């Protein structure tokens, strides 16, 4: 096999593996977000709205930020650029927001499932909220979005512990894999 054929075969294998990885990771993201949301809706507002030292003032604000980011990235993937955070217009209860956020995470699973192997390497052009245009590959956007959610879920866990909620569960990726068996 010559070098070009070998490189082409490796690219095909990597693209196939990328789809498998992204489908697994979007399912993990939904699982972890749902676990967090299921816990948060059982807590008193005094915990959810307690001001704590973190990237965002409260647990509620942090959850809304993850929800906003996943929503915005899904819109960008589908060709729509938003100028404002989606939660800014939300007037419902926290429980409704948590449920909508959980459902939003399913959209990432749908994107990964419906995308062809090759489409993960295709460019997506979008505008940020300031109107500046960027171009990234679909797999880069998905990995960023999923990593961003994981980062802020970790902050929520730390904020919960700081607020006195210590009976927590693991949202580690390995725990997800173990539970899938």
With both helix axes pointing from N to C terminus, report the angle between 59-77 and 94-114 in degrees, rounded to the nearest 10.
30
- DSSP β-ladder status, 133-137 and 123-127: antiparallel
What pLDDT sits at residue 1?
Answer: 56
**CA nearest neighbour of 30 among 178, 135, 176:** 176
Single pTM value for the model:
0.89
Mean pLDDT by 10 residues, the chain (181 residues): 60 73 96 97 96 93 97 95 86 93 94 91 92 95 97 97 94 94 87
Note down the domain range covering 79. Answer: 3-180
Under a CB-based contact definition with an 8 Å cutoff, are residues 120 and 139 in contact? Answer: yes
What pLDDT sits at residue 14?
Answer: 65
What pLDDT sits at residue 7?
Answer: 62
What pLDDT sits at residue 12?
Answer: 62
CA–CA distance, 68 with 71 (Å, rounded to integer): 5
**CA nearest neighbour of 18 among 150, 143, 134:** 143
Residue 2, φ and ψ in degrees, nearest 5: -80, 170
| CATH number of residue 43's parent domain | 1.20.120.450
- Helices within the chain (DSSP H only): 3-40, 45-48, 59-77, 94-114, 138-162, 173-180
What pLDDT sits at residue 5?
Answer: 61
* DSSP character at residue 131: S
Residue 124, φ and ψ in degrees, nearest 5: -125, 125
Domain count, the chain: 1
Longest dimension (CA), the chain: 66
């Amino acid at each position: 096999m010559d070098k070009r054929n070998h490189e082409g075969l490796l690219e095909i294998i990597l693209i196939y593996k990328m789809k498998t990885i992204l489908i697994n990771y979007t399912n993990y993201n939904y699982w972890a977000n749902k676990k967090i949301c299921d816990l948060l809706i059982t807590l008193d507002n005094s915990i959810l709205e307690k001001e704590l030292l973190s990237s965002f003032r409260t647990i509620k604000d942090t959850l809304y930020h993850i929800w906003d980011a996943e929503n915005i990235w899904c819109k960008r993937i589908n060709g729509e650029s938003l100028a404002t955070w989606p939660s800014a217009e939300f007037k419902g209860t926290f429980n409704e927001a948590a449920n909508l956020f959980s459902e939003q995470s399913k959209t990432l699973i749908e994107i990964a499932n419906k995308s062809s192997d090759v489409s993960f390497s295709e460019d997506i052009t979008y505008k940020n909220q300031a109107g500046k245009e960027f171009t990234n590959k679909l797999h880069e956007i998905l990995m960023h979005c999923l990593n961003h959610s994981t980062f802020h879920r970790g902050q929520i866990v730390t904020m919960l512990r700081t607020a006195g909620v210590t009976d927590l569960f693991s949202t580690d990726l390995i725990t997800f894999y173990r539970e899938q068996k």
